[in-house]
Each structure stands twice: as structure tokens, then as C-alpha cells.
Amino acid sequence: MSLIDVHAHFLPDQYRDALATAGIDQPDGFPRVPSWSAAEHVAVMDRLGIRSAVLSVSSPGVQFGDGITASDAVGLARHVNDVAAATIAQHPGRFGAFASLPMGDVDESLAEIERALDGLGLDGINVLTNVAGVYLGDASLEPVMAELNRRNAVVFIHPTSPACWECTSLGYPRPMIEFPFDTTRAVTNLLLSGAFTRHPDIRWIVPHAGGTLPFLAPRIAGISALLGADDPAAVVAQLRRLHYDLAGSANPPVVAALMGFVERSQVLYGSDWPFTPEQIVGAGLGWVNGGDNPISPDEMTTAAVRLFPRFSC
């Protein structure tokens, strides 16, 4: 087993209960809330040949719907982060975790960054592309970004439904179309707001092979130059500095597009389990481990170890 999975999810019981209380049984239109346990996760990794996984809470995160208050979001973030730390301790070498933040409250987010990274020893921070339509480059989140930059933090972006999804999703589950586009919106917002320039020491992981970024990057760069941004080559260079995972993207055309856009050292493996069923993850791994894949599992593991030293042994 060699692969390190940087895009794997967990759903503690209290988190599932909070979703149910808010009436969410099909998050983002996804047909189910999957089951999860650490024991089941380890068994799946053993069957698939995945050495370790970095856990995160998927969309809708810890702040959602009418059934959860701002205070509830703070408590829920603390709970899932505590579960993550306990899971890491109970299964040495098998798990790391990104901490969830109650991003609607900047002060509480700053407090949870300190608690999760310094107190619990988690590996980085998990942020959604937007919370209630507020994207990551928004000025209101500047204190959070400044603290993450000060810490040289690893920050994992996960897509969620955009505020306009009722008009744009065409009635389909949002992970199918909207998630790749909201990833692109979030990264473009970070780029054009100047957040990447102001906070160059944050180590970003962009999911799902960058959404539509490999295709749209030249267009974004060209038009952003008309808006007073850096020259197009400099804009693309900023996007190439980010890390990109292969969750839901382990297939020839998508990986070919990504590899034509970024350096090999920026590509990471991701499974998206348990939202992606084991059979589909396994099929993708068959290609990842095959001779036609332009980047080897060992290269992706090396890239992950640079970000997550706990997996160096």
C-alpha cells in the first residue's frame, strides 16, 4: 500500500444527526447521506491498497440550513474536529484530518484554527468554496486568511452548492455540474481578489482536478489582464502553484488536461469515499495504478508527504 488519499470524508454520528435535524437527507441533491465508521474506512483502504487518508467533512460543512444556528455551527465544528483527532490517535498511521471551521463567525474560526492545529494536532484546514454566497476571497474573511498564511497552513477547498443553484443546476444533483464550477469560482475569486498574492504561504489543495480550471485558466488569465490584474503568464503561474487532487477525476481525458496545466509535484490522489462508492473508487484506482496513467502513485505519495509529514514513515 502506497497511496495517500487527501480527499476522503467522514461523517460522525452527531454530524449525521445534525443533518437530519435540519431536514437534510440528500445533501446538495446527492441521493443519500452515506454511512461511515473508522473501522469501515480502514477496511476499505486495506481492500483498495490505500495506505492513509486525510479526513474532511464534505458539503454542506458545519453551517447549513434553518435547523442550525451560528452557535450550533461552532459546537459542531468542535465536535467533528475532536472526532477527527480521536480517530487519528486510535488508528496510528492510517489517518490525518483537515479541521472544519464555522466560517460565518471569523472570531470563532480563528479560535478553532488555534485549537485544532495547536491543541488537537490536525493537519490543515477544510473550507467550502462559499458559505451563504460569501466566497473565500471576500474581505470579511481576511483575518482568517492572514492567520492561515502566518501558519503556512495546508488548506483543502471543497465545493458546495452556489447560492444560485436553484436556477443553474437544471434539477440535477449539484455535485454533478455545480461543484466543478463552484471550485472554479472560488479559486478565481481568490486569484482576482489578490488573496493568493497577499497570502503566498498558504498551501492550497484544489479538488476534483481543479474543476474546470485546466480548461478555463487561459481565458481567466486573458480577461483578468483587462481588469488590471497581472499579465496572463503571471496569473497562470499563480494557479500552477496550487495543489490539485484527482478525486472523481481518475480517467485519461481529465488527468491529461490537468497534467498539461500543472507540474507533476502538484498532483495528489483523492478517492472521495464514502460519497463515491468503493466499486467506483476501485475502478479509478485500477487506472491510477496502470501503465497508461501519466503520473505514478509513488509521485503522488511523495507530493502528499511533503504536505503531511505525519505520513513520512
CA dist 274 → 56, 145, 156, 160, 267 (Å):
11, 29, 17, 17, 21
Q: Which domain holds residue 174?
A: 3-311
Tell me the average pLDDT across 292-313: 93
pTM score: 0.96
What is the rounded CA–CA span in Å between residue 308 and residue 276? Answer: 23
Q: What is the pLDDT of residue 106?
A: 96
What is the rounded CA–CA span in Å between residue 26 and residue 279? Answer: 21
CA angle 255, 154, 11 (to 5 degrees): 80
pLDDT at residue 1 above 80? no
Cell of 239: 494557479
Contacts (Cβ under 8 Å, ≥6 apart) of 252: 287, 292
Average pLDDT of the chain is: 94
What is the rounded CA–CA span in Å between residue 181 and residue 74? Answer: 28
CATH of the domain at 205: 3.20.20.140
What is the rounded CA–CA span in Å between residue 143 and residue 141? Answer: 6
Confidence of residue 292 (pLDDT cuts 50, 70, 90): confident
How many domains does the chain contain in total?
A: 1
What count of residues does the chain have?
Answer: 313
